[in-house]
Amino acid sequence: MSKPTDLSGLIDRSSSTRKYFLSLPAETQMLLHRSGGEIRSAADLRRYVDLLQRHNRFLMNTGNEKDGFYM
């Protein structure tokens, strides 16, 4: 089996990654799908979610939560 080339392929091929992805809030899933071409492994997915969470916390801490999203 070839390696996934994007998030959709990764989710299709890995039940554990699919389970993790589906455990995320719908808004987060939508954001991830928009950047899905850059996500090719479970590690990529977890890194990207971590980045989104850090960005969101930063915005909340600086009083700019209206510019962020909530996970």
Taking each helix axis from N to C terminus, what angle separates 42-61 and 26-34, rounded to the nearest 10 degrees?
A: 110
- In the predicted model, is pLDDT for residue 2 greater than 90? no
Residue that wins the pLDDT comparison between 27 and 63: 27
Which pTM value belongs to this model? 0.78
Give the total number of structural domains in the chain: 1
- 8 A C-beta contact, residue 59 and residue 68: yes
71 has pLDDT over 50: no
- Determine, yes or no, domain membership for 2: no
Condensed to tens digits (0 to 9), the pLDDT of residues 6-60 reads 999 999 999 999 999 999 999 889 989 887 678 999 999 999 999 988 888 888 7
User: DSSP readout, 2-29?
Assistant: PPPSSHHHHHHH-HHHHHHHHHS-HHHH
**65 band by pLDDT with thresholds 50, 70 and 90:** low
Domain that holds residue 48: 7-67
Q: Is residue 18 part of a domain?
A: yes
